[in-house]
Amino acid sequence: SSRAEHVSISNKHVEELAGKLVETFQSGGFSLSQWKEHALHPSTMDLFALQWIFVIDTLNFNFWAREDEDGNELLYQVEWPKNTFHTGY
């Protein structure tokens, strides 16, 4: 991030998020089995799953919501499987 012109990383906020994630996992609020149940996530924990996570996280910024001219939030959608739409992914 030291060479980035338009992106910065807040170490303070990364640490805060990491703490919240640990708390959520420890309290049972989220687990790997829940993660694997999502239709867009791989159900296995293997090299394919690792590569999928890397690709999706790399592309994630492309799917952030944006606003139209009137200030209404526009959500991007992913259709998978057919006729099932996911927003905010």
pTM, two decimals, is 0.51
DSSP codes joined into one string, 33-62? HHHHHSTTS-SS-SHHHHHHHHHHHHHGGG
Which tokens belong to 6? 């338009």
Phi, psi of 17 (to 5 degrees): -65, -45
**pLDDT of res. 89:** 59
Residue in this structure with the two tokens 């867009």, named with its chain if needed: 40
- pLDDT band with cut points at 50, 70 and 90 for residue 20: very high
Report the range out of 45-49, 53-57, 72-76, 79-83 with the highest average pLDDT: 45-49
CA distance 36 to 57: 16
**pLDDT of res. 14:** 93
